[in-house]
């Protein structure tokens, strides 16, 4: 079962952070054993773009972040957690955050605030809900490794798509496998792609 590989998902999520800029932090949740990396968070806040998930990869941790309505949502995890899973968790956090504070958050766009502290207590259920409701696992065989992989796909990637097939690159072991998915999350083909950048 693919979910078994994320049995310890909670322990692999190192930090979830919500804020605006260097001086304005709304929520900073960290796992009990994690050191916070303020430099990482600051770098992410500067790079973040509205509506697009961006990634930073370090040797021992990876980060995903996105700006939504001016607020930067950030997640850090162990490198074995797939990006699509991390994005799904952020989607859940964004929805829950605006459900709870949508009417008032703009009042806190300047200066420090701890009005959002209570949101920390929702993080465990946000992670759980994302894993249960916001992702699908597909299987794909890589011709280079000759391995069958479980690939995590965010449901909204398919549900919000305007044309099909949707393509996604599963990057692993120093190479990329391009996978085509139809509207039912079925694999319609795959090929090894070259990577640059
Ligand atoms: Zn491979």
The DSSP result for 35-52, as a single string, is PP-HHHHHHHHHH-BBTB
Does pLDDT of 45 surpass 80?
A: yes
Q: How far is the CA of 189 from the centre of ligand 1 (A)?
A: 15
Verify that 124 and 166 share a domain, yes or no: no
Q: How far is the CA of 21 from the centre of ligand 1 (A)?
A: 38
Task: Write down the pLDDT at residue 109.
Answer: 81
Residue with the larger pLDDT of the pair 154 and 10:
154
Verify that 145 and 103 share a domain, yes or no: no
Task: Write down the pLDDT at residue 113.
Answer: 72
Count CA within 13 A, CB hemisphere, residue 184: 2
- pLDDT category at 5 given cuts 50, 70, 90 is low
CATH number at residue 65: 3.30.450.50
Verify that 15 and 78 share a domain, yes or no: yes
| Mean of per-residue pLDDT scores for the chain | 93
Verify that 6 and 54 share a domain, yes or no: yes
User: What share of the chain in percent tops pLDDT 70?
Assistant: 96
Verify that 128 and 77 share a domain, yes or no: yes
H-helix or E-strand spanning residue 191: strand 187-193
Is 154 strand, coil or helix? strand
Q: Mean of the pLDDT values across residues 58-65?
A: 95
Task: Write down the pLDDT at residue 107.
Answer: 85
Does pLDDT of 32 surpass 90?
A: no
Q: How far is the CA of 187 from the centre of ligand 1 (A)?
A: 16
Q: Which residues surround ligand 1, an ion (CB under 5 A)?
A: 142, 144-145
Verify that 111 and 43 share a domain, yes or no: yes
Task: Write down the pLDDT at residue 1.
Answer: 44
Q: Which residues contact 135 (CB under 8 A, 6 or more apart)?
A: 84, 85, 88, 152, 153, 154, 155
**Torsion-angle region of residue 65: left (phi > 0), alpha (psi -120 to 50) or beta?**
beta
Q: What is the model's pTM?
A: 0.94
Residue with the larger pLDDT of the pair 37 and 122:
122
Does pLDDT of 4 surpass 80?
A: no
Task: Write down the pLDDT at residue 114.
Answer: 82
Q: How far is the CA of 162 from the centre of ligand 1 (A)?
A: 29
- Number of domains into which the chain is organized: 2
Verify that 16 and 57 share a domain, yes or no: yes
Verify that 97 and 75 share a domain, yes or no: yes
Task: Write down the pLDDT at residue 112.
Answer: 62
Verify that 17 and 78 share a domain, yes or no: yes
Single residue among 115, 133, 151 that ends a domain in this structure: 133
Single residue among 113, 133, 153 that ends a domain in this structure: 133
Verify that 119 and 185 share a domain, yes or no: no
Domain that holds residue 117: 2-133
Q: How far is the CA of 123 from the centre of ligand 1 (A)?
A: 33
pLDDT digits (tens, 9 = 90+) for 83-140: 999 999 999 999 999 999 998 888 888 766 788 999 999 999 999 999 999 999 999 9
């Amino acid at each position: 079962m693919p979910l078994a590989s994320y049995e310890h998902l909670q322990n692999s999520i190192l930090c979830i952070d919500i804020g605006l800029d260097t001086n304005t932090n709304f929520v900073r949740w960290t796992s009990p054993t994690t050191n916070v990396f303020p430099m990482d968070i600051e770098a992410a806040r500067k790079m973040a773009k509205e509506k697009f998930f961006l990634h930073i990869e370090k040797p021992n941790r990876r980060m995903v972040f996105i700006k939504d309505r001016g607020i930067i949502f950030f997640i850090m995890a162990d490198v074995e957690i797939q990006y699509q899973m991390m994005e799904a968790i952020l989607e859940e956090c964004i929805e829950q955050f605006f459900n709870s504070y949508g009417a008032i958050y703009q009042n806190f766009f300047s200066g420090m605030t701890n009005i959002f502290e209570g949101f920390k207590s929702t993080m465990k259920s946000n992670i759980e809900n994302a894993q249960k409701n916001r992702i699908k696992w597909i299987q794909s065989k890589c011709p280079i490794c000759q391995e069958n992989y479980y690939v995590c796909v965010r449901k909204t990637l398919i549900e919000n798509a305007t044309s099909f097939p949707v393509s996604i690159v599963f990057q692993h072991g120093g190479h990329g496998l391009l996978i085509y998915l139809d509207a039912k999350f079925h694999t319609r083909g795959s090929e090894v792609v070259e990577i640059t950048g």
